[in-house]
A and B are shown apart, each in its own frame.
Chain A
Amino acid sequence: MTTFSDMETVSDVETVPQDLLIVLRHPPHGSQWLREGLDVALVAAAFGQRVGLLFQGDGVYALLKGQQAGALGQKGTHPQIAMLEMYDIDTLWASETALAERGLSADDLMLPVVPLNAEAVAECFALHPHALIF
């Protein structure tokens, strides 16, 4: 049992393992990876699974405030992010390194996340029986 208690947390989001871990590693525009990963998260939650999201690499941009549709002729993924709460997906983890490398802090994000260091990311994978990586 791990509580990531050595981590600085930015919210009181639960850190216990969920039924399914969805790992998002791509930014909102430029590919379908993020959209199709979020679709699985929302459907799994609708099927009664407890879903945790882990944002890694450019995936942390999924959470950026002030996103708009249209720049690349794509509709964007921020509406899906805004729906997470309605689907009871409130366990959001993000790679601390990915946030820091991109100069992002909690204030830049649409939703509160629990930042994980590299060790905690590895632990997060180990604690989940099912993980899907997008």
Chain B
Amino acid sequence: MPMLTYALLLHAAPYSHQAALSALRFAETVVAGGHRLKTVFFYHDGVHNASALMSPPQDEVHLADGWKRLHEAHGAELLVCVAAGLRRGVLDTSEASRHGLAVHSVEPPFELTGVGQLVDAMLANDRLITFAP
């Protein structure tokens, strides 16, 4: 089977819906199968997967760390919709200062970006797979 490039679109909040864990498991399987995971786009309630404040019990999968590992080991870009994130309190240091907030909840390698990047990811990859609750 030829190598394919993948983008994932995640709409589900972490731990609330199976889709959030399924997306991570699918992503790990993509790279294990020799394919390329180029982009993960966090949208709708999926933006919460990018929270640096996520602190699940130690005997549970740490979803944000899972995505970070995929970035570090395989270069997957982790894109968070800025509009969806701002509404939900998911924002990085520059958005926090722009909005006069003393705290932020997104750290690299997660990046805040626009929906245009989702359109790009859809056009640039062989597959775009959506995970929704």
What is A's interface to B at a CB cutoff of 8 Å?
20, 32-33, 36, 39-40, 43-44, 46-47, 49, 130, 132-134
Contact = CB atoms under 8 A, between A and B. Distances in A.
Interface in B91-113: none
B67 interface: no
Nearest to A49: B119
A36 B119 contact: no
Contacts, number: 38
A47 B87 contact: no
Given A33-B44, A36-B43, A40-B115, A132 B83 contact: no
B130 A132 contact: yes
B118 interface: yes
B122 to A, nearest CB: 5
A47 B44 contact: no
Interface of B: 9, 43-44, 81, 83-84, 87, 114-116, 118-120, 122-123, 128, 130, 132
Given A132-B130, A133-B132, A32 B87 contact: yes
Main secondary structure of the interface of B (DSSP, over half): helix
Contacts of A40: 115, 118-119
Nearest to A133: B130
Contacts of B130: 132-133
B45 to A, nearest CB: 8
A44 B44 CA distance: 17
A132 B84 CA distance: 16
B44 A36 contact: yes
Contacts of A132: 9, 122, 128, 130
